[in-house]
Amino acid sequence: MGERFSTGELAKRGQTTLRTIRYYESEGLLPSVRTGGGHRVFGEDALVRLALIKDLRSLDFSIDQIRVLLDNWAGARRPGDKGPDDRRGVLTGIAGDLERKLSETEARLRLLQRVHHELIAALQVFKGCGPCAETLGGPVCPTCHTVVDRPRSGLVDVLFELAGGGDQALVQLGARSRKDRSRR
């Protein structure tokens, strides 16, 4: 019989919390057995499963997606249960799950790239307003190249609206930002 862990030991060795261990167990991701005294005991494979679960969660896999992957993984590793055709089916299922996750990840990367460009555009505008000689909170010069020629950015537009609307809000927003920095 291999090494066994209490809930606390598994949490400590897996560098997580008791609550997380209990949650994963309740979701069927970490199987345990009960001792005669009713305590949970986890087998030696629980540490490997926990590490895998944590890695998959950090990659934004849902609990349901992890459950399917672990079930398929366990099925593919179980000797004698499945013939070669059944195992091939399980592995094909895992590959399909991974392809779907790859598509989701690529979509998130595109979103992150768009947000990255929005932040760069917003920074260009706000850094350009720093040297403005206008009175803080005063009207924006209609020929100000920072406002007139600013990159179109949804983020900048939203910030303008939050500051009071339109391009005139840029100086007001910048004035607030400068005041906040001077208080630090």
Q: What predicted TM-score, i.e. pTM, was given to this entire model?
A: 0.54
Q: Mean pLDDT per segment of 10 residues, for the chain of length 184 residues?
A: 87 95 94 89 91 90 87 66 63 82 90 87 68 51 54 63 51 46 47
Distance between CA atoms of 94 and 70, rounded to whole angstroms? 9
Q: What is the pLDDT of residue 91?
A: 75
